[in-house]
Amino acid sequence: MDFDLLVIGWGKGGKTLAAALGGTGTRVGMVEQFDTMHGGTCINIGCVPTKTLVHDAEQRREDDDAQQFWSRAVSRRDTVVGKMREVNHHMLAELDAVTLIDGRARFTAERTVEVTGGDDLLTASADVVIVNTGATPTRPDLPGIDSPRVHDSTSLQHVDPLPERLVVIGAGPIGLEFASMFAGFGSDVTVVNRRERLLPAEDEDVAAEVAEVLEDAGIHLLHESSAVRIEDGAEAAAVVVRVGSEERTLEAEAVLLATGRRPATAGLGLDTAGVDTDGRGAVVVDEHLRTSAHGVYAMGDVHGGAQQTYLSLDDNRVVLSQLQGGGRRTTTDRVAVPATTFLTPPLATVGLTADEALAEGRTILVASQKVATIKAMPRPKALGDPRGIVKYVVDAETDEILGARLFHVEAQEVINLVALAMRTGTTATQLRDGIWTHPSSTEALNETLGKLAPYEG
């Protein structure tokens, strides 16, 4: 089969590009090796299902039966995913110019792939090929890792029964989200963190606030620790952990490996197509997302960097600009990209920390308040969760916001306003004097930005 555009992997960027061009009559082939992944990682095993579970965990009361509550939450998760997957499937299936191909692709030449599906083999070529295969969980070289009690972030979403005890190996965003979620469902959670504290890239006061909230939720944090081996028992796994110079054994019905994700490029035959990869297997791209092979682009997590669905969506805009818009849009256009780790409450970030700003030689003002002390922010109190911290970093000379750390209910929404302000040059004073709805979490801007003070570390 011959196409104008061939997309390998049904992720956010790829499906959006396929729909946009397929809708104009461009002949598009969409290859996906699993029919359960139509729509991509985000709606099937990533953002949407996990945040659905996070929400339900926050609704559980102490007298709710943990197992029954978990089972209902998983069922609702599956219903949400099923509906979204169906919508995403029809988004492309109903376009006459788009051909859906189920199978695993491997390059056999530049812009030519073989797709294997069961006993069937199909050869497909195109003028433009998009590598959009995403990323997969890494598996450390750890004795006992093949135990059936060991999970990644996908399989743990359907663990049955709900583990009474859960050990999370890794304290990045995924590990902390699952730790917070399962503590909400009623599991006794321990996090194995190889660093000396949580969130080493964040200012110490923010990281300390996050650690305090997690510990208050009953989560055990083991810092400067690492898993040595996992021994499978009849009733539980024994996770042997080195903490400092000592070894400790943690028993748990389930173990989560949250040690990161790596680009899913193994077996694609990228070298055959002349596509270069780096030491981690990520596809090497330029600011236009062009690979080293003519007519081949990479979008989403497969080219490394921050792994966010909305960045994959923006990758679509960059490539679409290349194919139809004169090529003016690039990845260097991205400014003030926010991120949220969906703890309870969520931690949302954008821009520089105070320490990073000082390291750049900037003269800064900083305002920081614990949420419970912010008089002009009644929304968290009304929702029954006044935990967290709000912190802003401002350029003392220009009044521009350089960064923000919001750890409170609805932080994932407020951070988008702050990010927009950073992109448009809206000043800290303008945000401080803004008129916001009441009661809302946004109102913290009025009070907190009124407390800016010189900061030297």
- Residues noted as catalytic: 438
Asked whether residue 434 is marked as a ligand-binding residue, the answer is no
Half-sphere exposure of 404 (CA within 13 A, CB side): 32
Asked whether residue 435 is marked as a ligand-binding residue, the answer is no
* Cα–Cα nearest to 137, from 122, 153, 148: 153
349 within 8 A of 338, measured Cβ to Cβ: yes
Asked whether residue 171 is marked as a ligand-binding residue, the answer is yes
Asked whether residue 15 is marked as a ligand-binding residue, the answer is no
Asked whether residue 260 is marked as a ligand-binding residue, the answer is yes
Asked whether residue 325 is marked as a ligand-binding residue, the answer is no
Cα separation of 4 and 129, whole Å?
Answer: 9
Q: What tokens appear for 48 in the block?
A: 């949407």
Q: What tokens appear for 104 in the block?
A: 């695993």
270 within 8 A of 107, measured Cβ to Cβ: yes
Asked whether residue 175 is marked as a ligand-binding residue, the answer is yes
Cα separation of 304 and 281, whole Å?
Answer: 9
Q: Which residue has the tokens 């005890």?
A: 165
Task: Please give the annotated binding residues for NAD(+), written as ranges.
Answer: 170-177, 260
Task: Please give the annotated binding residues for FAD, written as ranges.
Answer: 51, 301
Task: Please give the annotated binding residues, written as ranges.
Answer: 51, 170-177, 260, 301
